[in-house]
């Protein structure tokens, strides 16, 4: 099936890393398991340019909300291309997770994203390794303001899904910034008392907030509800992340309480 390759063992699954400041609590975090061939069991369109791929892992691995996986494609001539994608699904309730969901935006001339969107079908196998990362993670037990720009909502969705499943949605406030209604990922699932959508270019009819960039005023009420002990998680482009960091600080959050994950278009 085009770009595909066999797995190469790299490390034992489920190893734990050392202590770190994780969503307000110190503790170990899951480290990368082996490369493995995951089966695509579901593909869901999120927008005209984004799809969610549900992958069944033959070797289940533990992960935390906010971590990501590496997806690797290998051509018959040996050429390798790999990309890192945040996990959007909540971790398993007990023990290692047997499946993960990765949401991928199709980028112009993106060799990996185009292959995933145009070629991959349910039943195919993709080579993945994870989880990766120990800085941008939430364990589900501390208050947090989540701020996502466009596709940056993906790791924050893992946190929101975890909170809702565990009956702890009151610990979170999620603010998502997108240009237009058609650009909103997870549109059917997002609405709730703990979520806010900020449209920067155009809004739905009768939307209470006019179109415009995210500001401190959009975050101040959330900080008031959650209190001074809340942490901040920001994910988006470098420009969005910088602007949102400033907005959170202006709203009253200390810089040391903010975790930021920046990304760029790699295709």
Cis peptide before 131 (omega within 30 of 0): yes
b (16+ CB within 10 A) / e for 83-120: bebbbbbbbeeeebbeebbbbbbbbeebbbbebbbeeb
pLDDT of 28 reads 77
Residue 145's pLDDT is 98
The domains of the chain, with CATH numbers, are 20-132 (2.40.30.10), 144-263 (3.40.50.80)
Contact 143, 166 (CB under 8 A): no
Q: Are strands 172-178 and 68-74 parallel, antiparallel or unpaired?
A: unpaired
**Per-residue pLDDT of the chain in tens (267 residues, 90 and over written 9):** 334 333 222 233 333 343 333 333 346 789 898 999 999 999 999 999 999 999 999 999 999 999 999 999 999 999 999 999 999 999 999 889 999 999 999 999 899 999 999 999 999 999 999 999 999 999 999 999 999 999 999 999 999 999 999 999 999 999 999 999 999 999 999 999 999 999 999 999 999 999 999 999 999 999 999 999 999 999 999 999 999 999 999 999 999 999 999 987 666
Q: Which pLDDT value is given to residue 24?
A: 35
Predicted TM-score of the model (pTM)? 0.90
Can you give the pLDDT at residue 265? 67
CB count within 10 Å of CB 214 equals 22
Residue 263's pLDDT is: 83
- Measured between alpha carbons, how far is 53 from 89 in angstroms, rounded to an integer? 10
pLDDT computed for residue 16 by the predictor: 36
Query: Where in 107-157 does DSSP place strands (E)?
Result: 125-132, 144-149
Strands laid side by side in the 80-86 sheet: 80-86, 68-74, 125-132, 36-47, 50-61, 97-105
CA dihedral angle for residue 48, residue 49, residue 50, residue 56, rounded to 10 degrees: 100
Count CB neighbours of 64 within 10 A.
24
- For residue 182, the surrounding DSSP H or E stretch is none
236: its two tokens: 């988006």
């Amino acid at each position: 099936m085009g770009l595909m390759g066999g797995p190469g063992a790299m490390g034992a699954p489920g190893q734990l890393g050392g202590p770190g400041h994780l969503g307000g609590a110190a503790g170990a975090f899951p480290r990368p398991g082996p490369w493995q061939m995951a089966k695509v069991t579901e593909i869901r369109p999120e927008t005209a340019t984004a799809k969610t791929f549900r992958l069944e892992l033959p070797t289940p691995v533990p992960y935390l909300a906010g971590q990501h996986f590496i997806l690797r494609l290998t051509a018959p001539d040996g050429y390798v291309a790999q990309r890192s994608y945040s996990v959007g699904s909540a971790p398993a309730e007990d023990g290692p997770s047997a499946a993960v969901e990765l949401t991928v935006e199709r980028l112009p001339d993106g060799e990996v994203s185009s292959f995933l969107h145009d070629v991959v079908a349910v039943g195919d196998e993709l080579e993945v390794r994870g989880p990766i990362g120990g800085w941008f993670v939430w364990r589900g037990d501390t208050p947090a303001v989540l701020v996502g720009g466009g596709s940056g909502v993906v790791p924050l969705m893992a946190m929101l899904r975890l909170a809702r499943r565990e009956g702890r949605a009151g610990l979170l406030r999620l603010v998502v910034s997108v240009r237009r209604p058609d650009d909103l990922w997870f549109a059917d699932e997002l609405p709730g008392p703990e979520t806010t959508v900020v449209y920067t270019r155009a809004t739905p009819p009768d939307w209470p907030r006019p179109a415009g960039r995210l500001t401190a005023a959009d975050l101040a009420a959330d900080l008031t509800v959650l209190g001074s002990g809340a942490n901040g998680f920001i994910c988006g482009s470098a420009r969005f992340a910088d602007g949102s960091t400033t907005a959170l600080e202006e709203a009253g959050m200390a810089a040391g309480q903010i975790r930021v994950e920046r990304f760029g278009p790699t295709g």
